[in-house]
């Protein structure tokens, strides 16, 4: 038996902060391409993908990697050139997505747009102060209209760092592409940026306004917990008497935008708010959208079912698409599990290199201190991992034919056993904790894809 130290990462989350934002109606399906993108991922629920074929040139600077294109001037304090290229391509695909969503783009006179991801909070704060703004300490990002620049701090997870960069770019785009004469309420501008910045990104193509498969922040669960069974106070929020949290504002804007019932009216409300502002936004909401109490009940009802399906147990997982998640671990052990245990879980693991281990979680104690599952190495050796008391205890239990770089894993439960299947070969493991289902990885950077459950 082998014992491996269990490394647990406690991640604090920072929210984006911005002064101005805008909106337009979201598209209803079909695929989109930008700058000649060469691939369109599967459509899934029909939401549009926007792709890029940008091959960015990365230059070094004292502040970090610099990427200059016709659209963006990016300064990125990231780990390496590959990370800078990926974020530059992300921004280029986001340009197409935002243009489609807002129905407008910033005038040529203000492009390329300036976005900077800083290496530390002090540098971020110094630049904001130098631009003439008060520093929004406690925020993770900021868009300052007089400077027309988006400022972003480093974040504890890769997915949220990309989310926050997109959040601030949405504020920037809204201000510059659809300038208006009146002020815009915070719940609206922040709710919209929170909603649209949740995204799918596969390195080439992007979708905005998504529910992640898994995230450390889990804003949808935060919003649901806040409601605690009550309806959303739409009258108080729209009328300016209640300042909602970012997750709750996100849930409200998302529902209004995607609802067949409320969407057209909300489009009209936003168009008027963006163009000239409103002296009485609540009355106009009732006239153009619906009665606030009715909307509040509907948002709460939909939020109960529109949730991220997985929760990270240890360390970081990078959401890519509704059926795809990247592991981001080396030299450590990490798991994520489905919130509701299904009858069956299927997943394909690809891009497997090196001596790492991949597998599935099969049992989990509600206190979070104990779990059990299966891990597989590239030679086909099968081990169980049993987490208890801050350690992972491994036991070699079986062997299957050596898998290739792509392997299909499945999980079911029968009686007191978890039944793991590796490329059609079954391994049965007795479990002493409650049945559970999830992903596991040790010392391997791989893509878990085609994730399905029933």
Residue 324 phi, psi (nearest 5):
-140, 135
Are the C-beta atoms of 199 and 91 separated by less than 8 Å?
no
pLDDT band at residue 4 under the 50/70/90 scheme: very low
Question: How far apart are alpha carbons 177 and 105 in whole angstroms?
Answer: 5
pLDDT value of position 389:
76
List, for residues 30-43, the tens digit of each pLDDT value: 333 333 332 334 44
* Residue among 359, 329, 322 at smallest CA distance from 439: 359
**pLDDT over threshold 50, residue 18:** no
Is the predicted pLDDT of residue 407 greater than 90, yes or no? yes
* Residue 374 φ then ψ, to 5°: -120, 140
Which value, in Å, is the radius of gyration of the alpha carbons in the chain?
Answer: 23
Q: Annotate 225-241 with DSSP letters as a single string.
A: HHHTTPPP-HHHHHTTS
Torsion angle of the four alpha carbons 278, 297, 341, 213, in this order, in degrees rounded to the nearest 10: -10
Q: What is the pLDDT of residue 188?
A: 98
* C-alpha 418 chain-centroid distance: 30
What is the per-residue pLDDT across 104-138, written as a single tens digit (0 to 9) for each? 999 999 999 999 999 999 999 999 999 999 999 99
Contact predicate 12/138, CB 8 Å: no
- pLDDT the model gives residue 418: 97
Grouping H, G, I as helix, E, B as strand and the rest as coil, residue 179 is: coil
Which pLDDT does position 69 carry in this prediction?
96
Q: What mean pLDDT is reported for the chain?
A: 88
Residue 274: which pLDDT band, with cuts at 50, 70 and 90? very high
- pLDDT of 249: 98
Q: Which of 453, 450, 444 is nearest to 375 (CA)?
A: 444
Judged against a pLDDT cut of 80, whether residue 7 lies above it is answered with no
d(CA 252, CA 421): 42
Q: How many other CB atoms are there within 10 angstroms of residue 343's CB atom?
A: 11
- Per-residue confidence band for 9, with pLDDT thresholds at 50, 70 and 90: very low
User: 238 pLDDT exceeds 50?
Assistant: yes
pLDDT, position 351: 82
Domains, the chain, with CATH or none: 50-305 (1.10.390), 310-453 (2.60.120.560)
| Calpha distance 355→375 (Å, rounded) | 12
- Whole-angstrom distance, CA of residue 383 vs CA of residue 276: 64
Q: Is the pLDDT of residue 223 over 70?
A: yes
Cβ contacts of 370 within 8 Å, gap of 6 or more: 364, 386, 387, 388, 433
- State how far Cα 80 lies from the chain centre: 22
Q: What is the pLDDT of residue 366?
A: 77
Taking the C-alpha atoms of residue 37 and residue 262, their distance in angstroms, rounded to an integer, is 33
pLDDT at 17: 32
């Amino acid at each position: 038996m082998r014992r491996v130290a269990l490394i647990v990462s406690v991640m604090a989350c920072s929210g984006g902060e911005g002064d101005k934002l805008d909106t337009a109606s979201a598209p209803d399906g079909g695929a989109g391409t930008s700058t000649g993108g060469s691939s369109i991922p599967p459509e899934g629920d029909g939401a549009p993908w926007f792709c890029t074929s940008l091959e960015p040139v990365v230059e070094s600077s004292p502040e970090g990697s610099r990427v200059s294109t016709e659209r963006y001037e990016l300064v990125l304090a990231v780990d390496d050139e590959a990370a800078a290229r990926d974020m530059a391509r992300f921004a280029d695909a986001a340009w197409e997505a935002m243009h489609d969503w807002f129905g407008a783009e910033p005038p040529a006179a203000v492009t390329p747009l300036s976005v900077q991801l800083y290496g530390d909070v002090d540098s971020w704060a110094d630049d904001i102060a130098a631009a003439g703004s008060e520093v929004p300490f406690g925020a993770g990002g900021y868009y300052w209209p007089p400077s027309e620049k988006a400022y972003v701090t480093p974040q504890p997870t890769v997915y949220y760092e990309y989310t926050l960069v997109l959040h601030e770019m949405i504020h920037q785009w809204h201000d510059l592409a659809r300038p208006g004469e009146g002020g815009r309420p915070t719940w609206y501008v922040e709710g919209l940026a929170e909603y649209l910045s949740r995204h799918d990104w596969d390195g080439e193509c992007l979708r905005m306004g998504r529910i992640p498969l898994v995230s450390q922040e889990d804003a949808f669960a935060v919003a649901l917990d806040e409601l605690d069974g009550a309806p959303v106070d739409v009258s108080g929020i729209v009328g300016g008497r209640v300042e909602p949290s970012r997750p709750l504002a996100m849930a409200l804007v998302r529902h209004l935008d995607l609802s067949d019932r409320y969407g057209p009216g909300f489009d009209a409300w936003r168009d008027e708010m963006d163009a000239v502002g409103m002296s009485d936004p609540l009355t106009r909401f009732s006239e153009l959208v619906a009665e606030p109490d009715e909307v509040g009940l509907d948002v709460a009802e939909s939020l109960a079912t529109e949730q991220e399906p997985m929760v990270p147990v240890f360390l970081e997982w990078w959401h890519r698409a509704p059926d795809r998640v990247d592991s981001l671990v080396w030299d450590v052990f990490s798991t994520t599990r489905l919130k509701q245990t299904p009858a069956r879980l299927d997943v394909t693991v690809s891009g497997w290199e090196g001596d790492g281990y991949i597998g599935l979680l099969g049992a989990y104690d509600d206190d979070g201190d104990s779990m059990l599952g299966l891990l597989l190495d590239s030679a086909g050796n099968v081990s169980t991992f049993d987490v208890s008391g801050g350690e992972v205890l491994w036991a070699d239990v079986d062997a299957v034919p050596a898998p290739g770089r792509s392997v299909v894993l499945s999980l079911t439960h029968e009686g007191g056993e978890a039944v793991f299947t590796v490329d059609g070969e079954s391994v049965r493991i007795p479990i002493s904790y409650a049945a559970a289902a999830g992903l596991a990885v040790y010392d391997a950077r791989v893509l878990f894809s085609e994730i399905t459950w029933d």
